[in-house]
Amino acid sequence: MTQQQPERISWQRLVDGDIPPWVMRFIKLTGKAINTYDMIRDGDSVLLSVSGGKDSLALALALSIRLKWLPIHYNLSALMINWIEHPISEEAKANLHQYFKGLGIPLTICDEKQYPESFKGEFNCYLCSRNRRRVMFNYAQEHDCKLIAMGHHLDDLVETTLLNLGSRGTFSTMLPIQEFFNGKLHIIRPMIEVHESTTRRLSEIYDLPTVKPVCPYDQTNIRSRLKPIVKELTHIDRDAREHIYHAHDFSYRIPRETIKEPDYFR
């Protein structure tokens, strides 16, 4: 006899203010990173990088709800890149538009080639990431957004640390706030202290309209092979993720007063 899965709760409940303590902790932990690293200030325009997965949708939710409590205001917009070679369905697009409309965040879904001619037939995770970033940067320039928020979480930071340590011999990782083009643009990662298990739980309990675009390397890339190693480390010490996070020096502050108008992006 199969066990019936519990009915998922609508995300609208959270938007309406029915927020359980564990979701509140998630939102406040996101806010803690924003405050610690001075990611977002009053009047900023923030572009959300949306993949359609649980992490970017969770980040959009946290940033939108958080705005209701703050004495400051920042402008949120979102961009999802829809690869022409592996497009998402019209139903998925409609669900995403409904979700972001409910959060009060304008969403743009743009069609782009995943394999541009400049790749000359080559394709790998690095080229795909670089192509996605190029599209995102160009859109940010056109819409005068100096901040791009990405849904990377603590597990992503730990996996990147292990990848760089084991494959490149360097103790480095993704940064909570990362400067590009001499301060014309910053990538921010507000969920950098959030466990992936939290965004997964949010997606499983609440009816987030997640969509997973096709990725030919989804189950074979090195990150997917690092996930069980990270899990094994937490069996040795449950705070292993936090230990790795705090081993990095993020105590600096980027002087955002030096941000310039994004007149061009190379």
83-89 contacts at long range (C-beta below 8 A, 24 or more positions apart): 83/111, 83/112, 83/113, 83/114, 83/213, 83/214, 84/111, 84/112, 84/113, 84/114, 85/113, 85/114, 85/115, 86/114, 86/213, 86/214, 86/215, 87/111, 88/52, 88/211, 88/213, 89/211
Band of pLDDT at residue 3, cut at 50, 70 and 90: low
pLDDT higher than 60, residue 266 = no
Q: What is the mean pLDDT of residues 42-55?
A: 95
Q: What is the mean pLDDT of residues 60-72?
A: 94
pLDDT higher than 50, residue 261 = no
For the whole model, what pTM was predicted?
0.88
- Residues pairing with 147 in the sheet: 46, 186
pLDDT higher than 80, residue 124 = no
What pLDDT is stored for residue 198 in this prediction?
Answer: 98
Q: What is the mean pLDDT of residues 223-251?
A: 93
Q: What is the mean pLDDT of residues 211-216?
A: 71
What pLDDT is stored for residue 265 in this prediction?
Answer: 30
- Domains of the chain, start order: 12-256 (3.40.50.620)
pLDDT higher than 70, residue 9 = yes
Band of pLDDT at residue 131, cut at 50, 70 and 90: confident
Band of pLDDT at residue 225, cut at 50, 70 and 90: confident
Band of pLDDT at residue 258, cut at 50, 70 and 90: very low
Q: What is the mean pLDDT of residues 231-258?
A: 83
What pLDDT is stored for residue 214 in this prediction?
Answer: 64
